[in-house]
Structure 1
């Protein structure tokens, strides 16, 4: 074990599962890992807050704005398993440092970009960098600390990552409000480079496992291409493109996923996803329910800034308040999950969580539509976070418990990949629905001037008369309300399915004695 500047003077030792970290360096190790992970988790919220100002400044169409949000989770999902393999082969410290450096440079390029094409390219680079860095954040802790310390350390890591996200949301909203959309990207660059300096000076280097990289490059490329084709089909569907073109890209994407599945099951020597994991019906049901809710929710949440800012309901600070309330609900749900599951059983607990989330999303949509962000949208966002937190925590744990212990790490990685993909496709799907809904709302509100607006693009009319701007703002808020109804329907459907598809017994007796938070139950 050595510190960054001494790396070149050190010979690599034999492979070791644990390389103890000096006590004095543990705070820096936890802080760097938490800030790095928090920066990656912050990204979708920060860029979503910046989107309204970015579109106005660069003249970016709505479909282009969607891709700024889609590229990051899509490429993160495609490269996540590759990142795990690279960390094992070349060391977690090196991969985390590489990911932070590349991600920081990409954020800097985006923040200083003269045009939208540079921002789009930088977003793709950020997604790939995140795929390399994210697996290394927790893996670096695991290799540096003994098992007895890991549970407590992971809790501290989670709190540190959540604090980074919360502080980043507030700072981003202030930078965008007081300055420009560029502040969102430059803040990410500062976080990445600051973390990189901390890594270099105070975080021990782990030595790689001295194995050849086990990378499924073909699988990653097929996965990314298939996801991109499906997302592209959805994003162009609301831009006035012919149905035949949309269907062609959609079919091509589905064929791509079929080829990916064929490759993973029959030809890949090192599969990107452990296919044995998906043989468990309980794993598929639990993971599928979580993905179903995520498909409707992720896109709705990331459209909040457009609805609030472009809809004239509030400033970037109001959007930040909604996001912070949602995150507070997620964090606070940890204290409710176990008691709820033990009292009424996993099926009823998940169903209740999703039902609460569905009602809260309807309330959030209505609050934004009426312009009452601080008084109504913030409290409902808190309830939305609580409902989602309770349901998803139970589903993910149940899914992992249904797999053999030796496959649980692969199962967790597979879940992460699927969730990232679902988030990307949700942005494309909800965005497409919003495009169609906006056109209909404009026609309903002002049929005589509907042709003045830019079709389904949410853009301001060429003639900025106050009456036209007011119609546009109202139409955007009502569009979000309709999209929120769709997301709530997805959550409601997940609630009903959970009630009948999951086991009814209490969490304490479902699979015999369990270990939660280090305590045997």
Structure 2
């Protein structure tokens, strides 16, 4: 085999490994909410506690998404990618063998680190294995795989629960990840960034976790403990202290997770907060409707039926996104972001009037509205994040926006779960029928998500008018479709090097 043909073979192997791994990670992530009622019935743990299987994943992902990319740059992207895959396999096996909800939550926390590592290092491997137009095509295919995985996850999870039980999803994912490990070992060459400092901001990762964990714990347990209780206030105090410590560390470390100087960039701050709000509200929606649709007191859908019922939100989001870059190029990115959040807020507001007597048809229009709104806002916000900085800062800006997705998903899901559960408990104690109590819980959480979406409109204003707009190319469409789970470069992104940083 000649050197040229070997290079082509390696590039093809990296493409298949990276795309398959991101597809399975995103499908796994989006499927778990559908599985929660089945896991609850099997393990005896309440779905309110099992929300940590969702928030714990996002929490750990937020702490590791940037650091895992840095570890790959220093110690070898292939090596760290393989470690991520190994962790993913181990977490899948742990969850599949779980007999308790605690083991499921622990496995999902490990999976958060694994998934973040796979996404960050897989994309880096892909970008350095290709150049020019081949790199653009490869990254676009990676983005398409990410979008397809996120859309297909709930349906796949529903099918597997119906056919063999909830454990099957994790066995299937483990087998696929093992296959990717073998493919990577055979076809992928090692690479690292020899010019990068070997300093790794591990302290920053730990402090992110120490900030988010007690904060989310307080949000989840505050209503039960009492919002003015020692436990709740102590958790908030610990979160604030860890947050202050994080800022102190980032000011002193050689290569920080978060370059605090970037926070002076108004466009980046506005777009990053828009990304955080968008990721948070869509994850909260999927959590809420997955539980509501399957409850026997309301629609009583099976897991498969619930997966099908979420398709207007998941598939609609993917189908709308590719057309968004052209709209942004014509009308302006912040206008499209603002319009998207306004439509999303309207969709959540419609859910705010939910009643226990509603049939599934009443939910379709709100789900479609939220999907269209998210599709409109995600792409331009991600594009603005990487277009608003100098070429040398693109990787850092991308890392900030990717971390924001995990933070938004963790916080918003925890808030939605808390409001949903608290209102249901209050209404049930007041003697309301269970269906009415559940619909009131869904309505209250939806109004909260509508308020967050209105804040997203405000972030479009914060972004201002100076952000460079993408031209609306095919690659821009792929980046827009993937924007729900990862920030990819667009035609508006300054070009610094071949590597696409996490």
Question: Smaller-chain TM-score range?
Answer: 0.7 to 0.9
Is the Cα contact below 8 Å between 1:35 and 1:164 reproduced in 2? no
Residue 403 in structure 1 maps to residue 365 in structure 2: no
Q: In the alignment, which residue of structure 1 is the partner of 2:446? A: 484
In structure 1, C-alpha distance between the alignment counterparts of 2:368 and 2:343, rounded to whole Å = 11
| Structure 2 residue 79 is the aligned partner of structure 1 residue 94 | yes
Deviations, residues 423-447 of structure 1 (Å, cap 9, x unaligned): 111122111111221123224553x
- More off after superposition, 362-371 vs 429-438: 362-371
Describe the SS at the equivalent of 2:307.
helix
How far apart, in 2, do the equivalents of 1:476 and 1:223 lie? 34
Instruction: Tell me if the contact between 2:158 and 2:304 (Cα under 8 Å) persists in the aligned partners.
Output: yes
In 1, Cα distance between equivalents of 2:24 and 2:2: 26
Alpha-carbon distance, 1:33 to partner: 0.6
Please name the residue that 1:454 is paired with: none
Worse overlay, 171-180 or 419-428: 171-180
Question: Is the 1:63–1:239 contact (alpha carbons within 8 Å) kept by the matching residues of 2?
Answer: no
1:174-229 Cα offsets, whole Å, 9 max, x none, are 1223332222322322232232233234x322233457743111111111111101
**1:404-443 → structure 2 map (5 Å cutoff):** 404-443=390-429
Deviation at 1:473, TM superposition (A): 4.2
Q: Partners in 2 of 1:512 and 1:76 — Cα distance?
A: 29
Cα–Cα, structure 1 residues 124 and 162, in superposed 2: closer, same or farther, change >3 Å? same
Residue 102 of structure 2 is aligned to residue 117 of structure 1: yes
Which shifted more, 338-347 or 188-197? 338-347
Match of 2:488 in 1: none
Change (3 A) 1:65 1:34: same
Return the offset for 1:63: 4.2
- CA distance in 2 between counterparts of 1:29 and 1:150 reads 11
Instruction: Provide the residue aligned with 1:468 in structure 2.
Output: none
Describe the shift of the 1:53–1:376 C-alpha distance in structure 2 as closer, same or farther (beyond 3 A). Answer: same
Bigger shift: residues 24-33 or 153-162: 24-33
Q: Which residue of 1 aligns with 2:344?
A: 357
Is residue 206 from structure 1 mapped to residue 190 from structure 2 by the alignment?
yes
Q: Once structures 1 and 2 are overlaid, which stretch shifts more, 352-361 or 99-108? A: 352-361
Partner Cα distance (1:515, 1:346) in 2: 11
Inter-partner Cα distance in structure 2 for 1:499 and 1:90 = 39
* Aligned CA-pair RMSD: 2.8
Q: Is 1:57 matched with 2:19?
A: no
* Residue aligning to 1:72: 57
TM-score, normalised to structure 1, is 0.83
Tell me which residue corresponds to 2:372.
386
Equivalent pairs counted in the alignment come to 473
- How far did 1:93 drift? 1.8
What is the deviation of 1:145? 0.7
CA contact (8 A) 1:172 1:187 kept: no
Q: Name the CA distance, whole Å, in 2 between partners of 1:88 and 1:282.
A: 28
How far apart in 2 are the matches of 1:21 and 1:87?
23
Matched, 1:47 2:32: yes
Kept in 2: contact 1:329–1:384 (CA 8 A): no
- Assess, with a 3 A threshold, how the Cα gap between structure 1 residues 338 and 269 changes in structure 2: closer, same or farther: closer
> 2: distance between equivalents of 1:143 and 1:304?
40
The within-5 A match list for 1:31-430 is 31-201=16-186, 203-209=187-193, 213-241=198-226, 243-244=228-229, 245-265=231-251, 267-310=252-295, 311-313=297-299, 314-364=301-351, 369-373=356-360, 375-430=361-416
- Say which is worse superposed, 31-40 or 437-446, in terms of deviation: 437-446
SS in 2 for 1:357: helix
Q: CA deviation at 1:240?
A: 4.2
The CA distance in 1 between the partners of 2:310 and 2:212, in whole Å, is 27
Shift in Å, 1:293: 4.1
Q: Is the 8 A contact 2:14 2:184 kept in 1?
A: yes
Deviation at 1:281, TM superposition (A): 1.8
Inter-partner Cα distance in structure 1 for 2:469 and 2:257 = 33
For 1:101 and 1:499, how far apart are their aligned partners in 2? 40
1:70-104 per-residue CA deviation (whole Å, 9 max, x = no partner) reads 11111111011221111112222222221111111
Would the aligned equivalents of 2:325 and 2:379 in 1 still touch at CA under 8 Å? no
Q: Distance in 2 between matches of 1:175 and 1:323?
A: 16
TM-score if structure 2 supplies the norm length? 0.86
d(CA) in 2 for partners of 1:124 and 1:513? 37
Residues 394 and 21 of structure 1: is their aligned pair in 2 closer, same or farther, counting only changes over 3 Å? farther
In the TM superposition, what are the counterparts of 1:5-20 in structure 2 within 5 Å? none
Give the Å deviation of 1:138: 0.9
Shift of residue 308 of structure 1? 0.8
Give the gaps of 5 or more residues in structure 1: 4-18, 447-470, 505-509
Query: Aligned in 2, Cα 1:114/1:292: closer, same or farther, shift over 3 Å?
Result: closer
Q: Could you tell me whether the CA contact under 8 Å between 2:45 and 2:100 is conserved in 1?
A: no
